[in-house]
Amino acid sequence: MSSRNYSLLGPDGARAVETGLAAAEWYHTDVPRKVMKDLMARSDGPALRDTAIYYGAMIVLAGIGIALWPSWWSAPFWLAYGVLYGSASDSRWHEAGHGTAFRTRWMNDVVYQIACFMIVRNPASWKWSHTRHHTDTYIVGRDPEIAIMRPPAFARVIANFFGLLDGWNGWKRMLLNATGRLHPEEATYIPESEWSKVVRVARIWTAIYAATLALAVAMGSILPLMVIGLPRLYGAWHHVMTGLLQHGGLADNVTDHRLNSRTVLMNPISRFIYWNMNYHIEHHMFPMVPYHALPRLHALIKDDLPPPSPSIWAGYREMWPALRRQLANENYFVTRRLPPTARPYREDLHVTALGATPAE
């Protein structure tokens, strides 16, 4: 591909449909049916524990931050609160949106709605966006959630560490939806029967933000915005740091998650914030396995997967040079090598990747 058009309304999306890349059959590691049934079993226990810790920590940190305001002594507490608000919410909307975090449906729904508000992603539209992401993962012109396009726009990537694009774009989309309209790209993956839900949520959110702004003006202080809104900006860095590793620098327009997704071993704190989404190949292969079972799934199928990046730093050491090379050659990508025990990649995807240039 000499040039990629990422618009969902553009020619690359139409070409993906014509060539069978859209809604294609993906490679899956063989897992015995009984074992997979056990892995997919849902439970309220792990998510109730983690959610109690998560929201409890947010309440405590915000409370201390408010009590110490406006002293600089409050800064560490706001920074920690921001990561839980602006980063951990990313993994919470994701897992609860899959309906796998809890066994009880309404618990998933509550966490999903709250997390979507914090990360500024309309729950009625992002459900369908993420469905498309799993159906057409990193298929150019089809996947609405491609974080790093080719050639990479490094200024955009850096700005997103502070939420300066994704956050603002979320609020802009919220205001657009609140007027009763959808973006034309949204209309390509959201069923028309759901459009009214998108608009209703946007109007409720707009009212909440308006009330928060009014309170800040009345108090003559940004303190209300430190609790609601601003953490989406100053706390975004962790979810961007981990999220870029999911697919960055890897192949696009392929139908094997081992080629276009990356598993990274992380420290326990980042795993809690990220809710085990560091096991990303495993999640894409088997998206209905709950987050708390992903380490077990990884242990079971690791012999069929590329070796995981041993740390966040190691993941960036692999990804960043590839992104820099894509500035000059957008067809370049990293091919993660398989162990001898793995089933090989399909030769046409491994070697050509529709015209791409794999790393040697």
Measured CA to CA, the distance from residue 352 to residue 335 in angstroms comes to: 11
DSSP single-letter state for residue 351:
I
Q: What's residue 346's pLDDT? A: 76
Q: Which residues contact 144 (CB under 8 A, 6 or more apart)?
A: 8, 129, 132, 133, 185, 189
pLDDT in tens, the chain (360 residues): 668 999 999 999 999 999 999 999 999 999 999 999 999 999 999 999 999 999 999 999 999 999 999 999 999 999 999 999 999 999 999 999 999 999 999 999 999 999 999 999 999 999 999 999 999 999 999 999 999 999 999 999 999 999 999 999 999 999 999 999 999 999 999 999 999 999 999 999 999 999 999 999 999 999 999 999 999 999 999 999 999 999 999 999 999 999 999 999 999 999 999 999 999 999 999 999 999 999 999 999 999 999 999 999 999 999 999 999 999 999 999 988 999 999 998 766 554 443 444 454
> Which of 49, 345, 85 has its CA nearest to residue 232?
85
Q: What's residue 357's pLDDT? A: 47
Measured CA to CA, the distance from residue 207 to residue 250 in angstroms comes to: 41
Q: What's residue 335's pLDDT? A: 87
Measured CA to CA, the distance from residue 312 to residue 267 in angstroms comes to: 9
* Residue tagged 């096991």 (tokens): 279
264 bridge partner residues: 309
Contact 292, 47 (CB under 8 A): yes
Strands (E), the chain: 332-333, 357-358
What's the helix, strand, coil split of the chain in %, to 5?
Answer: 60, 0, 40
**Concatenated DSSP letters of 248-304:** TTS--S-S-HHHH---B---HHHHHHHTTTT-HHHHHHSTTS-GGGHHHHHHHHGGG
This prediction's pTM: 0.93
* Residue tagged 């553009």 (tokens): 10
Q: What's residue 2's pLDDT? A: 67
